[in-house]
Amino acid sequence: EPEVTQTPSHQVTQMGQEVILRCVPISNHLYFYWYRQILGQKVEFLVSFYNNEISEKSEIFDDQFSVERPDGSNFTLKIRSTKLEDSAMYFCASSEGQSGEKLFFGSGTQLSVL
Amino acid sequence: QKEVEQDPGPLSVPEGAIVSLNCTYSNSAFQYFMWYRQYSRKGPELLMYTYSSGNKEDGRFTAQVDKSSKYISLFIRDSQPSDSATYLCAMRGDSSYKLIFGSGTRLLVRP
């Protein structure tokens, strides 16, 4: 069964460093998303991406964050200067249709900022 | 009032029991309702998806949406120890791609 894959599974970085989280969405999907889950808290939306541009973003997704689809298969989330509070599990998701109601999530990247 | 509320549990039931999981919400614009299962430190796995009101059944799982009461439910029949996980409700409106998640209910099915 097709699945969303994310790398790395764990990422440890120093505060102020840049990190790039990588995702390979399901191949025929057109809509891509990043969510995050701080330990013990809700899964929360960061950004949605369609047709090579951001379609929606949350207030969390400030200028430190950016997303890119550098080729036909990868989807990346970059955090330019990490803060302690960026420590979380980051989930990539993708969906096929215009409505985007059936989101399929990857297994996540656990980001630890020290 | 929180946008989506879900009892965090934990809910502990014996194997074979019928499990009822619920969420309430405040935004009447929500039209798409989903249930996800999440194992520890893993990504949410889509279980059920419903548009607007009504019931949907898939194997041992039944999802119900009551928009008049702003209340959604997930029923699990003949629960198994492998059903032990956290169950997340999620929903969104027509005009947004953003899924709003509940906090999750932790379910433990005892052998």
Distance from CA of B50 to the nearest CA of A (A): 9
Q: Which pLDDT tens digit goes with each residue over B25-34? A: 999 999 999 9
Q: Which residues of A touch B33 (CB under 8 A)?
A: none
CB atoms inside a 10 Å sphere around CB A33: 29
**Distance between CA atoms of residues B39 and B55, nearest Å:** 25
Of B43, B92, B98, the CB nearest to A106: B43
**CA-based nearest residue in chain B for residue A47:** B98
Contact in structure between A103 and B36 (CB atoms under 8 Å) = no
Q: Which pLDDT tens digit goes with each residue over A39-89? A: 989 999 999 999 999 999 999 999 999 999 988 789 999 999 999 999 999
**Distance between CA atoms of residues B46 and B99, nearest Å:** 13
**Distance between CA atoms of residues B21 and A40, nearest Å:** 19
**CA-based nearest residue in chain B for residue A40:** B103
Q: Which pLDDT tens digit goes with each residue over B3-50? A: 999 988 899 999 999 999 999 999 999 999 999 999 987 899 999 999
Q: Which pLDDT tens digit goes with each residue over B74-109? A: 999 999 999 999 999 999 988 888 999 999 999 999
